[in-house]
Amino acid sequence: MAELQWLLLILVMLYFYIPTRPIDKPDALVAVMVSFAGFVLLFRYFRCCTREARWKLAIQTWGMIAFITFVLCYTGKTGSPLLNLYLLVIIACAITLGKVMTMLEVLLIAACYLFMGYADYGSGIISPGTFTTLMANFSPFLLVAYVTSLLAEDIHHAKHRITVLSQTDELTGLLNMRAFSTLLDKEITTVERYPQPFTLMMIDVDGLKKVNDRYGHAAGTHLLKTVAVSISDCVRTSDVLARYGGDEFVILMPHSRSEAARIAAERIRAAIHKSSFDVNGQHIAASASIGIASYPESVATAGDVLEKADVALYKSKQLGRDRVTVYREDSGIVKQLPVAAAAVRSLSLRPSPAIS
């Protein structure tokens, strides 16, 4: 928007120095240009409103319409060679504010245009010949507004679709790791500034490779989709569920401690058991290993929660799979051990009993 506003001002300045017809009241035109420059600086560079908003963009387009209308009044009104400057406003509005707002601003521009027409022709503006000529000159503005609005709407729709595709796992319809990492980073930033607990749960589908090898990838895909639905049915609306990759899922649980997460994990594990299915008469049992880590209850650094949840998950798999393990850390032991050994020896991992 700022670039269009400066372009608009530069075009008027060029015309001021190289006019194609006499300019009425040059001093007044200079004052209008200076006022518009101040308007642009106020909104864009002096940060009168730091957050971009639709109402702010609308005010800027109204300012452009007012500026162009004053310029036209001093350079020939409806016969001014600068009349097409209105197109800049229409295009800017279509791109930023949408179809409805664009049409409303076209109506505002039409009102300004008819006002200048009345100044030129007086009551003769209502005569068929004069009015038809004015509308014929104005019709390109309507066409540009309509076409640009359609194109802008298609662009916004495509952008939204691309954003969804870039953040969604194609197989399960859940968030992918890219989108999850963004939300996790925000949560870490929040809890570091305003201390509050959160928990990460990592879920690994047991035996997916065996299912793929024995029954085919279609069966493995069906297993992943079924497990994803089972997990989705068990999480809270405030939780963030994503596919971590391959046969793993991850859940971010804000404002949750390890015990509440463990109870939820057992519920998820039981739901996955119930999602078992048959393929060509062969029963495929679904189960999952789950690891849990909580900040600040068992992990001192918020940024390490994902890594520690992965450690707990690995422990669940070591202990025979199909179980929930909560990460525990003895900070005293960690301080006494080398970093390489601490990752293994400092854990006090407490697996919960499997549910039959």
Nearest to 313, CA basis, from 293, 331, 297, 342: 293
Residue 248 DSSP symbol: E
Report CA-CA distances (Å) from 90 to 33, 34, 77, 242. 20, 23, 19, 42
Nearest to 342, CA basis, from 296, 308, 313: 308
The strand pair at 324-326 and 350-351 is best described as antiparallel
Which residue out of 204, 206, 247, 322 is catalytically annotated? 247
Only one residue has tokens 């109506």, namely 107
How far does CA 317 lie from the centroid of its chain? 36
- What single string gives the DSSP state of each residue in 109-157? HHHHHHHHHHHHHGGGGGSHHHHHHHHHHHHHHHHHHHHHHHHHHHHHH
Nearest to 44, CA basis, from 1, 91, 95: 1
Whether 203 and 251 have beta carbons less than 8 Å apart is answered as yes
In the residue annotation, 247 being an active-site residue is answered as: yes
CB under 8 Å to 32, separation ≥6 — which residues? 67, 70, 71, 74
Gap between the Cα atoms of 247 and 209, Å rounded: 9
How far does CA 49 lie from the centroid of its chain? 21
Gap between the Cα atoms of 65 and 251, Å rounded: 51
Q: Which tokens hold the place of 133?
A: 């000529």
Tell me the residue type at 265: A
Catalytic machinery residues: 247
